[in-house]
Amino acid sequence: MDSSRDFLRFATDLGVLRFGEFVTKAGRTSPYFFNAGLFHDGDALCRLCGFYAQAIKASGVQFDMIFGPAYKGISLAAGTAIMLSQQGRNVPFAFNRKEAKDHGEGGNLIGAPIKGRVLIIDDVISAGTSVRESVDLIRAAGATPAAVAIALDRQERGTGELSAVQEVERSYDMPVISIAKLTDLIEMLKADQAFANHLPKVQAYREQYGVV
């Protein structure tokens, strides 16, 4: 919990996590917005990937390598591999291109060979498209998708009664690890008077769209 709250405060300080009125891809008016693309300097990326490494280790999930789907997952995979290495766990990483090259090394995969148990790392899960494409690439290489690590789990319904994260867990029979969840965000708002004015709208949003 402390790590999750530290991460959320860090994201708020950088303006990655903001409060107001924002329209989501699903057409919902959300009282908060999370834009991981704003972790865009060396210090921010280093600290972000430190949070990923911490969440991954705490989960206890078993994996042999990291895969980062293009584009946001590329820097996350590399950065998290570096942070894990600094903590005594050296693992290979790979990522993909959006379009395959027909010269040089060719193909659409870059980095270490895809093999063993593969941890997918991305910023968030919205429609699950990135995860599905990653799973297909990993299985095509003869490897096994082991888990997905993301920064924030919004814990809200997708097209049905399940959240996008729950749909991924059910569809691929693998866990999704998150640095923080919407429930962690609500606890942070409750604990800090500076954010108290945002609490009612976030709670109301969770009551309307949230999942358990």
Question: Catalytic residue at 25?
Answer: no
Of 110, 117, 124, the C-alpha closest to 74 is 110
Please tell me the distance from the alpha carbon of residue 128 to that of residue 83, in angstroms, as a whole number.
26
Question: Catalytic residue at 103?
Answer: yes
Asked if residue 65 lies in contact with residue 92, where contact means CB atoms within 8 angstroms, the answer is yes
Please pick, among 101, 181, 198, 201, the residue that the annotation labels catalytic. Answer: 101
Please pick, among 40, 72, 98, 103, the residue that the annotation labels catalytic. Answer: 103
Please tell me the distance from the alpha carbon of residue 21 to that of residue 1, in angstroms, as a whole number.
26
Q: Write out the H or E segment, with its range, that includes residue 171.
A: helix 164-172
Tokens of 151: 């920064």
Asked if residue 7 lies in contact with residue 180, where contact means CB atoms within 8 angstroms, the answer is yes
| Identity at 117, one-letter amino acid code | R
Q: Among all residues, which ones are annotated catalytic?
A: 101, 103
